[in-house]
Amino acid sequence: MRIFLDTANIQEIRDAARMGVISGVTTNPSLVAKEGKGDLRDRVLEICSIVQGPVSVEAVSLDVEGILEEARRLSRWSPHVVVKVPITPAGLEATATLSKEGVKTNLTLCFSANQALLAALAGATYVSPFVGRLDDAGHDGMQVVADAVEILEYYELPTQLIAASIRHPLHSIAAAKAGAHVATIPYKVLMQMVQHPLTDVGIERFLADWKKVMPAPV
């Protein structure tokens, strides 16, 4: 399973990229707004230069022609750009056209295996079930991921599944066990995955023992 970083924060992306563990980035209008005013194109191009992998940028139009216009414009910014499109009738129609034009898409706001199947049939490059939001609503978000992965693999559909709305490290493990192709996670969750108190204790013990056998530098 690959890991994407779910953020529009440049410093977070740089820090995660240096660790060598992320291969893409997902953004949305809310994440971009958190970073304050600025040129979206410049930010996206900077992110693309850091990760050199898929970078999801969301189209905000809701009608077919609007989605198509936005998607075509966004995709021209960089070959790494993947256009996020909501799973609606208009979004599916636009995706069917974009897939024939070679524009990469990420069908977002997915909350069922039915929606994931339709996204794949429309030609989506990625589809993103929102695990955390499903859990919040009393559903089993990870079961939706598992069901969708099973369908995609059974019918050998090329669409890749991104487990989104990841809230904690256990979600990441569950997504991997469910067969998700990608988990897109916030920087905070990534750092929680790295850290473990026993690792910290082990380092402290190793250093303490080393000081006992090695003289202090003169």
CB atoms within 10 A of CB 24: 22
Confidence of residue 217 (pLDDT cuts 50, 70, 90): low
In the residue annotation, 84 being an active-site residue is answered as yes
Confidence of residue 216 (pLDDT cuts 50, 70, 90): low
Q: Is the pLDDT of residue 162 over 70?
A: yes
Pick from 190, 195, 196: nearest CA to 6:
190
Confidence of residue 218 (pLDDT cuts 50, 70, 90): low
Domain ranges of the chain: 2-213
Q: What is the pLDDT of residues 10-42, one digit of tens each?
A: 999 999 999 999 999 999 988 998 998 889 999
Give the active site residue among 34, 84, 177, 212: 84
CATH (residue range 2-213): 3.20.20.70
pLDDT of residue 211: 82
Q: How far apart are CA 185 and CA 19, in angstroms?
A: 15
pLDDT of residue 184: 98
Cα-flanking dihedrals φ and ψ of residue 85, to 5°?
Answer: -130, 135
- Residue 59 makes CB contacts below 8 A (sequence gap 6+) with 66, 67, 70, 71, 74, 83, 84, 85
Region of 199 on the Ramachandran plot (φ > 0 left; ψ -120 to 50 alpha; else beta): alpha
Q: What is the pTM of this model?
A: 0.93
pLDDT of residue 208: 84
Q: What is the pLDDT of residues 44-56, one digit of tens each?
A: 999 999 999 999 9
Helices and strands in the chain, H and E counts: 11, 8
CB atoms within 10 A of CB 14: 13
